[in-house]
Structures are given as structure tokens and as C-alpha cells.
Amino acid sequence: MIKTQTFISVLSVLFFFSLPFSSFSAPPSSASVCESFVQCFSDKTKSPQAQINKNVFSQTNPSYSSVLRAYIRNARFNTSSTPKPTIIVTPRSDSHVSAAVICSKTLNFILKIRSGGHDYEGLSYISDKPFFILDMSNLRNVSVNLADQTAWISAGATLGEVYYGIWQKSKVHGFPAGVCPTVGVGGHVSGAGYGNMVRKYGLSVDYVEDAKIVDVKGRVLDRRGMGEDLFWAISGGGGRSFGVVLGYKIRLVPVPSTVTVFRVEQYMDSGAVDMVHKWQSVGPKTDRNLFMRMLIQPVTRKKVKTVRATVVALFLGRANDVVSLLAKEFPELGLKKESCEEMTWMQSALWWDNNENATKTDPKVFLDRDLDSASFGKRKSDYVATEIPRNGIESLFKKMIELGKIGLVFNPYGGKMAEVAEDATPFPHRKKLFKIQYSVNWKESSAEIERGYLNQAKVLYSFMTGFVSKNPRNAYLNYRDVDIGVNDHGVNSYKEGEVYGRKYFGKNFDRLVKIKTTVDPGNFFRNEQSIPTLPRKA
């Protein structure tokens, strides 16, 4: 815990750009570092320096600030005191990525890799040590091949761009991934990736057939070139520990021409406790075509503090069928036909992104990357293996009212998820009933307000200890949370990495460490929660 607090405090106040240097020499200036990098980059890519300046941004470049801020998604890490990169590289080709890796390694700088910038703790664009950012947002190609029902999707593409690219070619194909369209492919898929078809089809990585990566030597490798171990590792173990993921070849999945969405709300004094309690036995076990997310939020209603529980659902079928199904399985929900809306799968993706008039919205809105629009936030995660008793739900509601703002999201598993072996990919949590996301957002830029909301998250997380997975208490990599442990990659790197590593990956952590030690023995690709190498034998 002390280590984590130190990390957070350092990120809040540290602001320097020097290279690691010996006690006998002065640190080189940012200008000389940039000059050395540009020369190296020019040599490796055989490009004139004037051309390179379009893709390499030093702190003196007029565009530096806008390029940095574009993909900062958490305003907590967008302050004047937040550590800034010495250089930002925005590659436009595989050779640019390869050169960025080699030149960063040569200059002994940490390389932070950012695709969509949705890493909740900002680990893709901040560091307490001198660093560069490799911003993948220009590598955004989505190439759909309906002949074999696959697509190559570049790491810098957003999920919205992927869905739009598929929709342009087919109205009856989709891809099982997240509901937020501005999330980048690189982080989402390499961290396993899930969405509202997870019960029908499983995780995003379950549909990855090939990949391209730049390794620590700067080589561009496909699945055959990297080997099955490394391919396995970047299919759920996070790409940034092993190299720079350039893209994935994914298999598309069939979706019906008509799907159904609905939203049902209940309050604490009118059935919410019974609805949430019963949801635990229905959500993970019902027809796998049905995904029912549960949102639980403290609210004020008629001047009284209460809790609102909301079921938000996607059914891969017609409204009559899901109404009939839930009348039998989940009468506590009280679903009525008029609460349901039938639409295409693409329209349902727009609806899940809070486009209320989804059937009238142009899908082109998914091409909007919503740049430089960060709000303040904190996320944490848990997994539930056995149902929470009714009195536990009641006590949870009371605790949430007491805290005031922190909310919860329950995501059901079951279906396809439970049928895949836990070691098929690095993601080990497939047999759980559901995943919990702790969620709080705020708009005020105030250190005191931030401390209050961060404390709410920690208090509720502590309160839930008895209801969630144990030994270890599991967490989801793509809901990044530095509270569960960080790594400064010193002599205790393995021990520090094991703390959070086993929470994210369970028994699969051991295989990830072995692969990491083989492919990146010098631990160049590292961040505050990356996979460590095996400790060196004395």
C-alpha cells in the first residue's frame, strides 16, 4: 500500500525530463535528446528529418500540447504538474514503430504505448521516469474481408471505427467487443476485450486469428514469426508488456437482422433489492443471446436519498421472445413489450452509446474520436463467484447511500464464457458469475474533491470484501487500478509484479512471466503494472 501511495503522489507532483545519468555528468537537455532521437529515427527509417518532424513532437513543437491532450481520457492526469513526455511519436507505418522502439531503447527512455487512451490510470501516457509516448492513433486501418468473414484491425483504430467498417460491408455481421466507441483496439483486444455479446460469443480475443507486433529488437512479426507463446500472451495478457501490437486479424460473428434492446429502472423502495438479488441467478444463466447489465447508483428522488437499479440489455432476437422469456425467468424485472425497441445490431451499438434516437442516427458518428474531452474518474473491479445474499444487497444499498456518489456495474458471464478453458487465453475469470466495476466520475478540478471520491471507491471496495472472489481477490486488466499494486522494476520487480499479476491473471501469471523473460529479458517494455521478468539467479 505504501508503494501505491508513493506512485500516485509522484505522478501528481513530479515534473522532469532528464535522462538517467551518472553522478559524473550533467543530464542531457530535452533539445539534445530530441536531436539524438530524430537522427536515430531518420537513420532507421531512411527518411529526411523534415519529414520526420511531422511525426515526432518535442516539447517546443507548437502542436505538442494538442497531440498530448488528444487522447488523455482521464482529467486526473491532465494537469500542469502531471509528468510530460520528452517526445511524442505518432507513427504512420510499421517501420516508424520499429524505429521508435530501437531509438527509445538506445536512448534509455521508457516508451509508453497509447492507442485510444482509455487506460483508467493513464499508464499509457504518464510515468514517474523520463519517457516517450508512442501514440498509435494514425494506424487506424480497418480492412474487412467478407469472403472469409475476417478483418484486419490496426491497434490505433477505435471500436467505433471497427463497427462502422463492418457495417459498411455487412448488415448481419458484428464483432464481440466493447460498448464505448472511442476505445482503441490495441489496449482493448490485448487486454481480452468484452462487450454485450460476451455471453453469446465470449471475449474479443476468442476471435483473434493472427496479429502483428514489433518486438524489442524492432522486428515486425506475425503469429507465425512470433510463435504461439507470444501470440497467446498478447491475446489477453496485455500487449504493452511484450512489444508494440500493430494490429489483429479478427473473425467476424453473425448477428441477426433484428435485435432488441431495453432499459428498466427500479428504486430501493419499489423492488430494486429483489430485482438485483434475483438478477444474480438469471443474468449469468439465462439464454446466451441475452446480456443484461445491471447499473446500481445512489440518487436523490423526491428529496430523499435512495438507490436506483437499472437493467440495460441486448437480446439477439425479437422483442416478443425476450418478453416471454423474462416473464418466466425474471418476473421481478417486470419487463413489458413497450419497454423494448427492435433495431439492427449496428443501431443497438449506437443505442448502447447513449444515442437515444439510435434508429435515426447516422452510424458515421462512430468515426468521431471525441478528442481532448476528459472528465475526472476512478474505476476498480471485482469478480463474484457465489451469489450475494439478499441482506447483503440491502446492506450494499445502505452503504452506497452513505457514501453518496460511487456506483456499481454488474456484467453477467455464463454462456460461452463458462465453456472456454481458463488457460486458453491469459484471461482466467471465465467461470465467475459476474464482474463488478466500481465507477465514479466528477467534473470539478479540486484535490480535496478528488481525495473524497477516491476514498469513496476504496471504502466501497473494502465493504465488498466478503462478497467477492478471494485468494487472490481478482481484478480485470482493462479496468486498470493501481490501488492493487505497482512495480518500480527494481530488485523486487518480480515480487511486486506478482501482487497485481495474480489478481489480473491468476495461475496464468506464471506462463506470462516465462514468456516475458524469453522475449524481453531486459524488461524494456514496462509500465507500473506490466508483467515482470523472472528474478535473476545469484
Please report which confidence band the pLDDT of residue 6 belongs to, taking 50, 70 and 90 as the band edges: very low
144 has a pLDDT exceeding 70: yes
Mean pLDDT, rounded, for 303-317: 97
Element (DSSP H or E) covering residue 102: helix 94-106
Mean pLDDT, rounded, for 92-100: 97
Q: What is the CA radius of gyration of the chain?
A: 23
91 has a pLDDT exceeding 60: yes
pLDDT of residue 2: 42
Mean pLDDT, rounded, for 357-363: 95
What digits encode the pLDDT tens for the residues 393-409? 999 999 999 999 999 99
Could you tell me which residue, 494 or 18, shows the higher pLDDT?
494
All three cell numbers of 328, joined, read 418466466
Please report which confidence band the pLDDT of residue 1 belongs to, taking 50, 70 and 90 as the band edges: very low
Cα separation, 401 vs 267, in Å, equals: 12
Cα separation, 335 vs 410, in Å, equals: 19
pLDDT of residue 538: 57
11 has a pLDDT exceeding 60: no
Mean pLDDT, rounded, for 255-262: 98
246 has a pLDDT exceeding 70: yes
What digits encode the pLDDT tens for the residues 324-341? 999 999 999 999 999 999
Q: What percent of the chain has pLDDT over 90?
A: 91
191 has a pLDDT exceeding 80: yes
Mean pLDDT, rounded, for 240-254: 98
Could you tell me which residue, 61 or 2, shows the higher pLDDT?
61
pLDDT of residue 477: 98
Q: Which of 479, 494, 500, 504 is catalytic?
A: 479
Q: What is the mean pLDDT of the chain?
A: 94
Is the distance from CB of 121 to CB of 481 less than 8 angstroms? Answer: yes
The pairing of strands 131-135 and 150-154 is unpaired
DSSP 429-496: -TTSSEEEEEEEEE----HHHHHHHHHHHHHHHHHGGGGS--SS----TTS--GGG-----STTHHHH
Number of H helices, E strands in the chain: 17, 18
Element (DSSP H or E) covering residue 22: none
pLDDT of residue 27: 55
430 has a pLDDT exceeding 60: yes
Mean pLDDT, rounded, for 107-129: 96
Q: Please return the burial class of 315, using the count of CB atoms within 10 Å of its CB with bins 0-12, 13-18 and 19+.
A: buried
Burial 452-461 (b: 16+ CB within 10 A, else e): ebbebbeebb
Mean pLDDT, rounded, for 447-455: 97
pLDDT of residue 12: 42
pLDDT of residue 30: 77
What digits encode the pLDDT tens for the residues 260-307? 999 999 999 999 999 999 999 999 999 999 999 999 999 999 899 999
53 has a pLDDT exceeding 60: yes
Mean pLDDT, rounded, for 436-444: 96
382 has a pLDDT exceeding 50: yes
479 in active site: yes
How far are the Cα atoms of 236, 244, 425, 459, 474 from residue 499, in angstroms, in the given order? 18, 24, 20, 20, 11
83 has a pLDDT exceeding 90: yes
Is the distance from CB of 497 to CB of 532 less than 8 angstroms? Answer: yes
What digits encode the pLDDT tens for the residues 24-52? 344 567 789 999 999 999 999 999 888 88
Mean pLDDT, rounded, for 434-438: 98
Is the distance from CB of 486 to CB of 400 less than 8 angstroms? Answer: no
Please report which confidence band the pLDDT of residue 355 belongs to, taking 50, 70 and 90 as the band edges: confident
User: Cβ neighbours of residue 350 under 8 Å, at least 6 residues apart?
Assistant: 358, 361, 363, 365, 366
Please report which confidence band the pLDDT of residue 537 belongs to, taking 50, 70 and 90 as the band edges: confident
Q: Please return the burial class of 360, using the count of CB atoms within 10 Å of its CB with bins 0-12, 13-18 and 19+.
A: exposed
Q: What percent of the chain has pLDDT over 70?
A: 95
